[in-house]
Amino acid sequence: MTATGMRVGIHDLAFATTHQVLDLRTLAEHQGIDVNKYYIGIGQTEMSVPCADEDIVTMGAEAAAQIVARLRAEQQAEDGQAFDGIRTLLFATESGVDQSKSAGVFVHSLLGLGEHCRVVELKQACYSATAALQFALGIVARDESEKVLVIASDVARYALDSSGEPTQGAAAVAFLVTADPALIEIEPVSGLHTDDIDDFWRPNHLSTALVDGKYSLAAYLRALEGAWTEYRSRGGVDFEAIDRFCYHQPFTKMAVKAHDKLSALVGSPLDKDQRRAQVAASLELNRRTGNSYTASIYVGLLSLLERDDADLAGRRIGFFSYGSGSVSEFFTGVVRPGYRDVLRTAADERALDDRTAIDHARYRALHEGIDAAQGSDYETAAETPGPFRFAGVSAQVRRYARTAGGSPA
């Protein structure tokens, strides 16, 4: 709640992923290792893999279209008209498709949003969706009539046969930030931690990330301690006042390690099972999509709201957002009454179940094809069954289109 008594936060939250999937058993068999190294060791079972005509724009547009469609229905806007109910679109990603133009501008066009709209892309590794959330809260706090659409969309790519390969993945979330939110009221106190380190990065000439795995895990935990310490120093609630936790998930086991770290830091008496219960539901969607960088913490939030058996209304959630390099933030939010009415649980489950399973040869060809196409004009094969597709590059400009089943949201 703001100083004026206004509640601000997340009003709607939608999910999208690619339309292909690689079971990590397939990768383990190719590598000749026990699949439990992945299923149990890192807590991942599948990774979403983009079709040739899918990327962060198509995923982001598919997630955001669900929110815009609901707004259109609520406001009874006629289909095909420019929709002027959103004046700010913030697109968070570390998989940018252009060094200048925001990925959000492509989405703005695909969704048929009105011309009176600011559109910006934000980047700071996996943290920038949280930056977008905080910026959106400020816009709404200044004018309670504003609705800010935030999109977080990423494709996590590492070199073939590298240690990071099993932690790849892809997904997008979109969320609407408003006054009097229907899902989560974001509380005003947060703790921050920034450190100039080289734990994970992607130079301009590479399409795959570079990572110092052990160093990055240690940096993540050190940042958690720093952000939590400042959160408490600024008047944040104590650990016992938080019912559930959502962490950035480069792989789901990392969230478990982080929660154990925080529990030990505060001297919590909770046993292993009690600690797991505070995070378990937040891991389920990420376990099946793989790493989605900026989106992963909010995929975790959606998973928590959809998969936790308890009624979370009135419960407080702690969020730890981490982006390598590094910037992190700890903050909290309170679940609003009636939150289940806003969720699209069955549709989100179908999005995962309906993905086409691919074999290792197909996965490898798609991975290698990204670099092969760099710097040239080309058309992509029409593969995705989703509502939007990446059509290719013409005159060095990326082209996007609605598919036969697609229409303005």
Distances (CA, A) of 216 to 213, 219, 288, 337: 5, 5, 22, 38
Q: Which of 248, 259, 284, 329 is catalytic?
A: 248
Q: Which residues pair with 118 in a beta bridge?
A: 88
The two tokens of residue 200 are 């994970």
Residue 383, SS3 per DSSP: coil
Other beta carbons less than 10 A from residue 32's beta carbon: 6
The two tokens of residue 143 are 């004018």
Which element (helix H / strand E) includes 259? helix 252-266
Identify residue 110 by its one-letter amino acid code: L
Cα 296 from Cα 138, distance rounded (Å) = 23
Catalytic residue status for 117: no
DSSP letter at 237? P
Phi, psi of 210 (to 5 degrees): -110, 140
Q: Which of 51, 117, 126, 246 is catalytic?
A: 126
Cα 59 from Cα 298, distance rounded (Å) = 15
Catalytic residue status for 246: no
Q: Which of 46, 54, 62, 94 is catalytic?
A: 94
The DSSP line for 334-399 is EEPTTGGGG--HHHHHHHHHTSEE--HHHHHHHHHHHHHTTTS-EE------SSEEEEEEETTEEE
Identify residue 153 by its one-letter amino acid code: S
Catalytic residue status for 126: yes
Catalytic positions: 94, 126, 248
